[in-house]
Amino acid sequence: MSRQHKILFLCALVLALGSNARQAFAGQTSHVKEAGHNAKDSSRPGGTIWLIPHTHWEGAVFRTRDEYLEIGLPHILHALELLKKYPEYRFVLDQVAYVKPFLERYPDQVPTFRKFLAEGRIQLVGAQDIMPDMNIPSGESWIRQVLYGKGYNREKLGVDVTVGWGLDSFGHHAQLPQMLKLAGYKSYWFQRGVRAEGMSWEFLWEDIDGSKIPAFWLPFSYALFHPAPGNAFEFDRYARGQWNDLGRYSQWPDRVALVGVDVTDPQEAVPVEVREFNQKGGAPFTLRFGVPTDFEKAVAARPNPPVVTGDLNSVFQGVYSSRIELKQWVRTLERHLAAAETLSAIASWLEAPSAEEKIVRAWEPVLFNQAHDLMSGTMVDKVYKETIHDYESSNAIADEMIEAVLAAIATRIDTRGEGIPLLVFNNLGWRRMDVVETEVEIPEPGFVDVKLTDAAGKDVPIQFISADRDQDGGIRRAKIAFVAREVPALGYELFHAVPTRTCSSPPVPPPVASTWHEDSGSIENGFYRATFDLWTGEMTRLEVKSGSWNALGDGPPNVVASEQDGGDLWELYGNLNGARLTAMTRKSLLPAPWRAHYSHEWVGGDGHAVQGPVFSQFSISHPFGSGKFSTRVRLYDGIRRVDFKTEILNNDKWVRYRVLFPTSLKAGRRYDEIPFGAIERPLEQEFTAQYWLDYGDGTRGVAVLNRGIPGHNVVVGTLLLSLLRSASISAYPFIGGYEPGVSSDLGLELGVERSFDYALVPHEGDWQSAEIYRAGWEFNHPLVARKTSTHSGSLPSHWGLLDVSQNNVVVSTLKPGAHGTVVLRVYEASGRKSSAVTVKMNATIVAASEANLMEDSGGAIQVSDNTFQFDLRPYEIKTFKLKLQPYAARK
């Protein structure tokens, strides 16, 4: 949460806000597509400032979750007292993680709370567990926020929340309008990310799929009337000043101001001062308490609202790589929880034990810690430690669910055959080929090698990663890699690892290049040939065999730059300006030579390349300044991807690390993946990307994939990934729970070694024809292998749940639904209209309907031969609710 704006708005705003705001917003560019303000005379009598009392509960940032509850729950009690005392008073509450504990800890207040809720004097908005970061978590995470939060309000309070509430989130991606509408929201309120000076604060926000939702930007923050002056004279001047300043953004007679700020008690003086102001008269407006929907009704009557398209980003770019471990944890947990949901849905259909009852318990800590402050990493150390503990707990539950459900499904599969049965599961919605790494234990001595066969009995090449051997060479335990080539969608393939007493291939491939004899070496597969400097680790050439071109340009690729930063946890190269409410458009360029060091300036001497039947690999490790750099690059047989694992040991304060990939492309365009879609963005600016960024000229391109490394940029044809920052809270006032002596120094990452997974995909054509969206999903959702026992079963050795007819239609989730249903969600990923898309289920569909994101059933859809059909607009999201006949009931 940005507390700097609290200084401005709590201490200096009373008389000076207008001029400050005008300076802050000067020079911003507009992306207003249409404008029809139809201005009216703001000085005529009859105007209204709608005052919306609220409190923005923090969740956790400078205090822990429990500490903020101890501070914040009495504020709700006080609001209830004000509602009793002043009939005209109103109050707004947003986060379920705040409201739910209040109702549980103060059961005697529940009837009063429900009474004011029914009267419309309390309004619930947002209705997510917390106020999430909108850019870093996945779209499916956002939907779980809605299911959990709106679901709680429906079930416990009988309220369907329709006001979207992202007041303090650090930017808003371009798919939010569609997602909000599909979740049942009718509006969206926020304060950060617009690009236009002087634009109307009420507009229609248009999605990349064409959806529109009324949006309400708060140009002077969500704390405009807080704190109010304590006497009638100053309050009169203050209110008139706010009226005039608000007129810069809307000339209509109805304007709005929020009354409240972070974890703050509602002011009892405000309703008294409002009464006195209105009774005195003489102003061209009145002050009126209301809730967001009151103001929305006034705005809805206005003709020709302006339409704003695209992103409302970026804000506080340093948060994309501060406390990077949190971003990596979120991707890991999203993957594990998605796998647990998918496997539970399949297990339920098989009438095998599933783990549905544990899913919410595993999700809630993840959802809570996706709060905008926590996801950004701007917290103090004690909160950071608590977040890591929450993630570890959720991960343990998810792993337990996955293991239990995989074991339950495996009992239904016929695993008979020679050797040790290995099941390889594919949690994605298309048949795929990818690498598998797994451990094999051999119970008997004397077996020196392992042979692998697939479901058809064909031999599959393997490569040993490691082997634990007896004195006679017999393998006790081995880690092997192989490429599974045809694993069905949302399904599995059975392999058998067969121990043998004779060796058919070298257990560890020997080096094909090392610094003993060479200065450079290469690795290759059927798609690429990569050449490296064996001393420094830089990649000197990346030949794309299709088209015979070098994807790399001038400059050393896969080199990490360590740059002087000096920023805090929020901002690059400087301290937080919390009053910044518009998007940041300053250039973010290549590391300046006078303030940066590069990993290839040091040498190690241990660089070497190996070529094996499954993968070829280059690796190196050497000093990097006062720390250490190591990287491993792999090319897998038959896989169109260059995989990197880079490790950085940092021992410096106030630095940032970025990995650079100069490309040979000169006039490309940049596309970033956002939740459920992609958007073109400006070059030379730091933005977040979900799984991938692509830079191409339409004929050729290079995509960079990431696992939990959201900060991306493209500068002069060079792709940059922001790996990590060494930063802490450095210039922050002691307010909002931040106290002297509370450390944030773990954010400096001193003595910590971090590991980063990313990949390159050079390609012919544009990113759509290269299906980069599929590459991103595959990189983030590896195939899952598990050993099982030998037994008979009714399921075959090669099976998948569904087939989708068009490659640009991505399955984003398969999960258990209510009343024994299965929820299937898809979206169009390439920005192109898709007609007559078919989904064929390998299960009997009893009933099917389209649903919203709350999984409310809509109209029934026609099913023929367990297949249904639909159309998709570019980037459209569709959710289906299916009732499947249990597997045991099949004919």
pLDDT band at 377 (very low <50, low <70, confident <90, very high): very high
Give the 3-state secondary structure of 412-436.
CECCCCCCEEEEEEECCCCCEEEEE
pLDDT, tens only, 383-415:
999 999 999 999 999 999 999 999 999 999 999
- Beta carbons within 8 Å of 473's beta carbon, 6+ residues apart: 448
Pick the residue with more confidence: 394 or 517? Answer: 394
HSE of 75, CA atoms in CB hemisphere, 13 A: 24
- Beta carbons within 8 Å of 329's beta carbon, 6+ residues apart: 388, 391, 395, 708
pLDDT at 372: 98
Distance CA 475, CA 8 (A): 68
208 contacts 174 by C-beta, under 8 angstroms: yes
Distance CA 862, CA 334 (A): 32
**Is the confidence at residue 33, as pLDDT, over 60?**
no
pLDDT band at 283 (very low <50, low <70, confident <90, very high): very high
pLDDT at 110: 99
* Number of Cβ within a 10 Å radius of residue 124: 23
Widest CA span in the chain: 99
Which residue reads 């609710």 in tokens?
881
Distance CA 202, CA 215 (A): 6
Three-state SS for 376? helix
Distance CA 680, CA 712 (A): 13
For residue 194, give both structure tokens.
């617009």
The reply to whether 801-891 shares the fold of 420-508 is yes
pLDDT, tens only, 763-780:
999 999 999 999 999 999
Nearest C-alpha neighbor of 463 from the set 632, 639, 637, 642: 637
For residue 603, give both structure tokens.
């040498």
Distance CA 412, CA 505 (A): 35
Arithmetic mean of pLDDT over the chain = 93
Distance CA 247, CA 200 (A): 10
Comparing 80-89, 244-253, 494-503, 626-635, the range with the smallest average pLDDT is 244-253
**Is the confidence at residue 41, as pLDDT, over 60?**
no
pLDDT at 27: 32
pLDDT at 7: 36
Provide the CATH number for the domain formed by 420-508 in this structure. 2.60.40.1180
Class of domain 801-891: mainly beta
Distance CA 319, CA 710 (A): 10
Distance CA 768, CA 544 (A): 18
Domain 511-732+745-780, CATH among 3.40.50.300, 1.20.1440.230, 2.70.98.30, 3.40.50.720: 2.70.98.30
Q: DSSP secondary structure string, 824-848?
A: EEEEE-SSS-EEEEEEEESS-EEEE
Distance CA 608, CA 589 (A): 32
Buried b / exposed e across 202-216, counting CB within 10 Å, b at 16+? bbbbbbbbebbbbbb
Distance CA 829, CA 673 (A): 9
- CA–centroid distance for 734 within its chain: 30
Pick the residue with more confidence: 666 or 732? Answer: 666
pLDDT at 507: 61
**Is the confidence at residue 459, as pLDDT, over 60?**
yes
For residue 797, give both structure tokens.
């050795």
pLDDT at 505: 66
Which residue reads 């999605």 in tokens?
207
Q: DSSP secondary structure string, 174-189?
A: TTHHHHHHHTT--EEE
pLDDT (average), residues 695-714: 99
User: Domain limits of the chain?
Assistant: 32-317, 420-508, 511-732+745-780, 801-891
The DSSP bridge pattern shows strands 432-441 and 475-487 to be: antiparallel
For residue 411, give both structure tokens.
């009992």
Domain 32-317, CATH among 3.10.580.10, 3.10.129.10, 3.30.450.30, 3.20.110.10: 3.20.110.10
